[in-house]
A and B are shown apart, each in its own frame.
Chain A
Amino acid sequence: MSEEKKTPFIRLARRSAMDRRRMWIIRVSSIVFALILGFIPILLTGSNPLEAYGVIIQGSLSRPVYIRQTVKIAIPLLGCALAIAPCFKMKFWNIGAEGQITMGAVAATYFALYWYDRVPHVMLLVIMALTGAAAGGLWALIPAFFKAKWNTNETLFTLMMNYIAIGIVAWLQGGPWEGRKGSQLIPMFNDAARLPDVLGVHCGWIMVLILVVLMHIYMTKTKQGYEIAVIGDSANTARYAGMNVGYIIMRTMFISGAISGFVGFMIVSGANYTLYSGVANGVGFTSITVAWLSQLNSFAMIFISMMLAVLQKGANTLQTRMDVPASISSIITGILLFCMLSCEFFINYRLIFRKRQDTEAAE
């Protein structure tokens, strides 16, 4: 009994439901708090934080070109967050979106490089999109199969698959798809293999917005979406209810990978116009944060991905204008994410500090 006498200095307790207003106040103030914390790294570089934030906003939103550039950054983030959402809902920790994007990009690039003069423009883009999605889906299916069959650890498995995909591209870059000998560069795509622009940004933005609606419907209104939610809450319950859990895992991962692969197609065809090993550029990981911060809500993802895009684009201008290293924005983004994620924690739990009467009560 003597062991139990000592109450920890801090204890956590789950909160009973908090009213929405207070929840949002905590969320907004956590953002404000993060922005104020962000003063520190900016001050360390010898700049005025307010001016720096001003430049970030200006650099991302003050001109049509900047808005377009910002949207261009947000498109893959949003698309990939949508891809990850069903997996995470199912509590299947797919951190392999990076690789799924890359494989989608590889498949799309093959047709962009070797089929551009064989099929008409729109047809080519459709082929690239479909093969990109298929490649991403199949790449995701591998760890899902092993999970379903032998219950392997999906986190490690999907993570490792990323490096394999990136390695494949590195090989293609220096090997069969290389342009000028020794340059390690795959040639730029022919115009036929490029996504057309709508309002100055490649039309991928329309497609991801459609995806937002589709994903929302899929997750909330369909039987498959319901199955995913049940497995996420309890796989055993799902089994008891007669669901084929392994099949659902594989199906969901295929859909998730296919969307990621489609994002890969949009990146190479709409933004980069070529393929290189860094094609996913961390989107597969950043989008996890987007999905998580949005609490897997498709519509919230639009705002979160835009917010991260604003920070990223703004940071480039910050570097150009004020000679602040662009990595400062990664630090600020990190602080922001940290604060926002931990505020969710404080919404769900409360801290109880040890008091004198607690100790007495225990005795």
Chain B
Amino acid sequence: MKKLTIVLIALIALCLPVFAGGSSESAAAAEDTNTIKVGLICIGDENDQGYTYNFIRGRDEATQMLAEDGINVEWRTIYNIGEDASCIDANIEAAEEGCQIIINNSYGFEPYMLEVVDDYPEIEFISCTNCASWNDGRANTHNAFANIYEGRYIAGVVAGMKLQQLIDEGQIAPEEAVIGYVGAYSFAEVISGFTSYFLGARSVCPSVTMKVMFVGSWSDATAESDAALALIDEGCIMISQHSDNTTPATAAQSRGAFHTGYNNDMTGIAPDASLIGTRIDWGIYFYEAIKAYAEGREIPQDWCYGMGEGAVVMTPLNEAIAAPGTAEKVAEVEAALADGSLEVFDTSTFTVGGQTLTHAFALDTDGDFTADSEEAVYDGAFHESEFQSAPYFTVQIDGIEWLNSAY
């Protein structure tokens, strides 16, 4: 028994100084009032080189911009949290660790985040890409998104020009201009994304059609690759994606197809396939939100900026493989989107079941998950992300074939 006691005492002795040391440290951090502590809860980590990596970039960019304004930010970044109850724990963790603002980076985090927000009324909670804040009756919840559909439209233009070039050069027949789209879920954000992409492509390549395959996950490198390969087998020669990884790009490269990316510049890993990418510059938002907080102003309840404000950016064009004249065309479309002369969802450019779209609701007010208020179609266009930052375009337009809709 003696030995046992000695061991136990030794263990406790080992632990005690650590215990005391750690707590004095955190107390010191709390006293430093010039620093704002921000939690960032991520679905992946920087290794995805896509979605979460893009948030990390935004985080670092905002930190630098804020430092220039004399605002220090201490980040607590929590990686690899699932869209499940572990998100509740991560939010509690960040709150208890003294974060003043907590940012949740994935769509599926919001319902779990909302379980925590009432326990910490003095902390500001932000759910990126989701939409509950406008009618959840709480002051400390916020949403944010950017008009990524504008970036996708331009990526579509780049893809369309490439396809048209192949048609003009006689390498493919007009009806062989088929785009394959790897989507995460058959969900508004994704539908809005691939529809704008398709409309961009068709604006420069009239014969284009598109096939969409859903993989049932925001981030599943293997499934995304498999879907891209399956689409190529179905005759698609241009791949694009709304999923977090770079595997659709490498899949396209391995089969000699072309590709446009999302979240990150993928021309580095697929130089013979990837033409361009588009991403949200979260730095713009983080800067604005944290600055507002630091100055004692309200963080915007539902923030949504577009290309004109720099919140959506194109990654560098792969000039080596893009069709000639692409850069000029991109600049032209960018300008037209910025000054409002071009509407992405112009109802004269697409049909639904052979008919022009004249009516679609934007918001769901009664919580039954079906939009029931605010007419989104007016002045000859569907107005995306105007009534809330999160996309609400859920119409299936002609020319896009859904290969599966189980997800």
Which among B84-92, B152-160, B307-315 touches the partner chain?
Answer: B84-92
Instruction: Pick the contact of B21: A51, A174, A188 (CB < 8 A).
Output: A51
Q: What residues of chain B lie closer than 8 Å to A182, measured between beta carbons?
A: 185-188, 190-191, 407
CA distance A69 to B119 in the complex (A): 14
A272 within 8 A of B: yes
Q: Cβ of B19 and Cβ of A54 under 8 Å apart?
A: yes
Q: Cβ of A276 and Cβ of B369 under 8 Å apart?
A: no
CA distance A149 to B54 in the complex (A): 57
A254, chain B: closest CB distance, angstroms: 28
A205 within 8 A of B: no
A69, chain B: closest CB distance, angstroms: 6
Q: What residues of chain B lie closer than 8 Å to A65, measured between beta carbons?
A: 92, 96
Which among B75-83, B142-150, B203-211, B339-347 touches the partner chain?
Answer: B75-83
Q: What residues of chain B lie closer than 8 Å to A323, measured between beta carbons?
A: 77
Which B76-129 residues have a C-beta within 8 angstroms of A?
76-80, 82-85, 88-90, 92-94, 96-97, 107-108, 111, 114-115
- Residue ID in chain A nearest B364 by CB atoms: A180
Q: Cβ of A320 and Cβ of B11 under 8 Å apart?
A: no
CA distance A319 to B76 in the complex (A): 9
Given A316-B93, A317-B93, A51 and B22 touching (CB < 8 A)? yes
Q: What residues of chain A lie closer than 8 Å to B185, measured between beta carbons?
A: 182-184
Q: Cβ of B108 and Cβ of A185 under 8 Å apart?
A: yes
B14 within 8 A of A: yes
CA distance A30 to B191 in the complex (A): 56
- Residue ID in chain B nearest A59 by CB atoms: B93
Most chain B CB inside 10 Å of its own CB: which residue of A185, A187, A321:
A185
Which A305-334 residues have a C-beta within 8 angstroms of B?
316-317, 319-321, 323, 325-326
CA distance A63 to B93 in the complex (A): 11
Q: Cβ of B76 and Cβ of A320 under 8 Å apart?
A: yes
Q: What residues of chain B lie closer than 8 Å to A272, measured between beta carbons?
A: 84-85, 88
Which A184-198 residues have a C-beta within 8 angstroms of B?
184-185, 187-188
Q: Cβ of B18 and Cβ of A325 under 8 Å apart?
A: no
Q: Cβ of A316 and Cβ of B89 under 8 Å apart?
A: yes
B331, chain A: closest CB distance, angstroms: 34
Instruction: Pick the contact of B369: A62, A181, A319 (CB < 8 A).
Output: A181
Q: What residues of chain A lie closer than 8 Å to B107, measured between beta carbons?
A: 183
Given A25-B3, A181-B187, A63 and B369 touching (CB < 8 A)? no
Q: What residues of chain A lie closer than 8 Å to B14, measured between beta carbons?
A: 50
A120 within 8 A of B: no
Q: Cβ of B19 and Cβ of A58 under 8 Å apart?
A: yes
B8 within 8 A of A: yes
B399 within 8 A of A: no
Q: Cβ of A174 and Cβ of B187 under 8 Å apart?
A: no
- Residue ID in chain B nearest A182 by CB atoms: B187
A226, chain B: closest CB distance, angstroms: 34
Q: Cβ of A24 and Cβ of B19 under 8 Å apart?
A: no
- Tell me how many residue pairs across A and B have CB atoms closer than 8 Å: 109
- Residue ID in chain B nearest A271 by CB atoms: B85
Most chain A CB inside 10 Å of its own CB: which residue of B83, B114, B369:
B369
Q: Cβ of B407 and Cβ of A24 under 8 Å apart?
A: no
A167 within 8 A of B: no
Q: What residues of chain A lie closer than 8 Å to B187, measured between beta carbons?
A: 180-183
CA distance A317 to B23 in the complex (A): 13
Which A210-263 residues have a C-beta within 8 angstroms of B?
none
Q: What residues of chain A lie closer than 8 Å to B89, measured between beta carbons?
A: 69, 316
Q: Cβ of A51 and Cβ of B406 under 8 Å apart?
A: no
Q: What residues of chain A lie closer than 8 Å to B406, measured between beta carbons?
A: 174
- Residue ID in chain B nearest A178 by CB atoms: B369
CA distance A54 to B24 in the complex (A): 12
Q: Taking beta carbons and an 8 Å cutoff, which residues of B are in contact with A?
A: 1, 3-4, 7-8, 11, 14-15, 18-19, 21-23, 39, 76-80, 82-85, 88-90, 92-94, 96-97, 107-108, 111, 114-115, 185-188, 190-191, 216, 364, 369-370, 394, 406-407
Known: A51-B18, A54-B22, A320-B97. 16 other contacts (CB 8 A): A28-B8, A29-B7, A54-B21, A55-B22, A58-B23, A62-B19, A62-B23, A180-B364, A180-B369, A181-B186, A181-B188, A182-B191, A183-B187, A317-B97, A319-B78, A320-B93
List 16 A–B pairs whose Cβ atoms lie within 8 Å, in order of A's numbering.
Answer: A28-B7, A53-B15, A54-B15, A54-B19, A54-B21, A183-B107, A183-B185, A183-B187, A184-B216, A185-B83, A188-B114, A272-B88, A316-B78, A316-B89, A317-B93, A320-B39
Q: Taking beta carbons and an 8 Å cutoff, which residues of A are in contact with B?
A: 21, 24-25, 28-29, 32, 50-51, 53-55, 57-58, 62-63, 65-66, 69, 174, 179-185, 187-188, 271-274, 276, 278, 281, 316-317, 319-321, 323, 325-326
